[in-house]
Amino acid sequence: MAVGTEGVVSVRVTLAQQPLAWQDPDENRGRFEALLAPLAGETDLVILPETFTTGFTMEVERVAEPADGPTVAWLQRLAHRLDAAVAGSVITAEQGSYYNRLLWAEPGEGLRHYDKRHLFRMGGEHEHFTPGRSAWTVEWRGFRICPLVCYDLRFPVFSRRRADLDYDLLLYVANWPAARAYAWRQLLIARAIENQAFVAGVNRTGEDGCAVEHRGDSLVCDFLGQPLAELAAMPGLRTVELDLQALRAFRERFPAHLDADRFTLCAP
């Protein structure tokens, strides 16, 4: 986080767009750790892809980690070394169920999780995983952040800013196939415009173990839907600084959220 002489608050967000070794957690953790090591002290938030330790596999009995498994400890160590929050999802087993679980780790061993609410039925995810129930926001270095997972992006009501889910940055971790790359980009932009918020989406690259191709297209856009940082089809890292004062000023000038419909989400 940077705080300027006039009290301007900003947060540095890093997109980590990479191919994933199929069902090989040790390999994936090692790759990300080496890749991110030079960013220590240079970023505030690192976003990893969905199921970043295994790829988007339905072989949950084979690859799922316990809720206190090795990736939890690894994320906590990584957050400490980078002095940054780190977020990404991991296939997790808990009390006889399996979850596509987004983990949010902060320096000092702070840890939260969100279980993916919308399960991708076209890939059979709903047959293997248990859906989560609700989203949340976390305040990190002056920004209120709401982390979600992949297919959640298609459901604007769930992502909507409201009294119990207000945020400045909405983020999605994903394994979004290349066949639907156009939808990925347009939906990220739409979520930014309709919620008057920054939006970040981080996707993987490369072919997975089911021969599904992913082209990345990770993106950060501002509250007008204008791209601030992009990674096309190549693996890479990209860091962008987001200005909270600019967001607040826009919301004051154009308070469309005051005319939004009030609603309550029903439990699944």
Predicted confidence pLDDT, tens digits, the chain (268 residues): 555 445 669 999 999 999 999 999 999 999 999 999 999 999 999 999 999 999 999 999 999 999 999 999 999 999 999 999 999 999 999 999 999 999 999 998 779 999 999 999 999 999 999 999 999 999 999 999 999 999 999 999 999 999 889 999 999 999 999 999 999 999 999 999 999 999 999 999 999 999 999 999 999 999 999 999 999 999 999 999 999 999 999 999 999 999 999 888 886 6
Q: What are phi and psi of 151, to 5 degrees?
A: -60, -20
The 10s digit of each residue's pLDDT in 15-59 is: 999 999 999 999 999 999 999 999 999 999 999 999 999 999 999
Q: Is 243 exposed, middle or buried (0-12, 13-18, 19+ CB in 10 A)?
A: middle
Confidence (pTM): 0.96
Residue 266 is assigned to a structural domain of this protein: no
Q: What CATH number should be reported for the domain holding residue 181?
A: 3.60.110.10
What are the structure tokens assigned to 53, written together? 């330790």
Q: What does the pLDDT read at residue 163?
A: 87
Distance CA 266, CA 139 (A): 25
* Coil, strand or helix at 70: helix
Q: What does the pLDDT read at residue 164?
A: 87
Could you give the residue numbers annotated as active site? 50, 116, 150
Residue 1 is assigned to a structural domain of this protein: no
Residue 216 is assigned to a structural domain of this protein: yes
* Coil, strand or helix at 160: coil
Amino acid in the structure at residue 127:
E
Residue 267 is assigned to a structural domain of this protein: no
In Å, how far are 81, 170, 215, 229 from 218, measured between CA atoms? Answer: 24, 14, 9, 8
**Nearest alpha carbon to residue 175 among 156, 150, 196, 158:** 150
Residue 264 is assigned to a structural domain of this protein: no
Domain that holds residue 53: 9-257
Residue 4 is assigned to a structural domain of this protein: no
In the chain, pLDDT over 70 holds for what percent of residues? 96
Please list the residues that pair with 229 across neighbouring strands: 220
Distance CA 209, CA 21 (A): 9
Q: How many domains in the chain?
A: 1
Residue 28 is assigned to a structural domain of this protein: yes
206-212: long-range contacts at Cβ-Cβ below 8 A with a sequence spacing of 24 or more?
Answer: 206/19, 206/20, 206/235, 208/20, 208/22, 208/55, 208/56, 208/57, 208/175, 209/22, 209/23, 209/55, 209/57, 210/56, 210/57, 212/56, 212/177
Q: What does the pLDDT read at residue 109?
A: 73
**Nearest alpha carbon to residue 214 among 224, 223, 204:** 204
Residue 91 is assigned to a structural domain of this protein: yes
Alpha helices in 148-243 (DSSP H): 156-159, 181-195
Q: How many CB atoms lie under 10 A from the CB of residue 214?
A: 26
